[in-house]
Amino acid sequence: MTNSKSVLIAAFISTMTMSASCGGDEIEAPCGEEAVAEAAPAAEKTEASPTPAAEGTSWTTMDEATLAKYGERVFLAKGSNTCNDCHGKDGIKGRLEQAANLTKPETWRVFQATGGDPVKADLALTYLIANGGKKFNESYVSDTAEAGWDWSKTDATAFDIQMFGVTQSSTKAEIKKIRKDLKKQGVALEKDDMTNFGTKAVIAYLRSIAVE
């Protein structure tokens, strides 16, 4: 487990790199390993002056920084039983004492139960946030051949079913609002892709608040 934290961070960086620079509009944008060093400044630039989306763009081409901005809206959705209500508006010290510290990914069960494998941890995290703890407990391992999930590596045998993820109604309502805003900008988000979008966006936001 010594290297586990850097493995997770490396996974975050590689995801960021793929969506931020590689194969984008900038002809000079480097791909692969060289792109890692470039990824952070590129993301900052986008945040400072967001490029208006071209007509007919799909949300799936959104860069990491833009996705994280929408993820922040999902996270901060108003109402009780939203991410910020249970976890705290900064991802710590929310209403529920047992809710994970969202600034410390290496303490999460998705990380521990997969032995820190970044791909498996990300797969489990995506499922958990999209479906909530109850569905995760019932279906994740049986539905996912490549889960590589081992509860015995954690101090639990199931997720607390209060972990709702984006399934909760105020959170869904915020994603709906975002969909409308995107539409005005000519960015397509299909109705049946809203959960997927909300999940990806909020995970991008979580990456941005993770501290070492």
Q: Which residues bind ligand HEC (CB under 6 A)?
A: 81-83, 86-87, 96, 98-100, 102, 108-110, 128-129, 133, 156, 159-160, 162-166, 168, 171, 202
**Cβ-proximal residue to ligand HEC, closest one:** 83
CB 185 → ligand HEC: shortest distance, Å?
23
| Contact (Cβ atoms closer than 8 angstroms) between residue 173 and residue 137 | no
Shortest distance in whole angstroms from residue 25 CB to ligand HEC: 30
Residue number, 61 or 195, with CB nearest to ligand HEC: 195
| Complex with ligand HEC: residue 62 or 202, whichever CB lies closer | 202
Looking at the Cβ atoms of 21 and 91, the one nearer to ligand HEC is: 91
Complex with ligand HEC: residue 53 or 209, whichever CB lies closer: 209
For residue 4, give Cα distances in angstroms to 9, 17, 47, 107. Answer: 9, 20, 29, 11
Nearest distance in Å: CB 31, ligand HEC:
29
Residue 123 CA to residue 26 CA, distance in Å, equals: 30
Return all residues near 76 (Cβ < 8 A) that are at least 6 apart. Answer: 82, 83, 84, 89
Q: CB neighbours (10 Å) of residue 136?
A: 24
For residues 166 and 71, what is the distance between their CA atoms, to the nearest angstrom? 11
Report the alpha-carbon distance of residue 96 to residue 85 in Å, rounded.
8
Report in angstroms how near the CB of residue 205 gets to ligand HEC at its nearest: 8
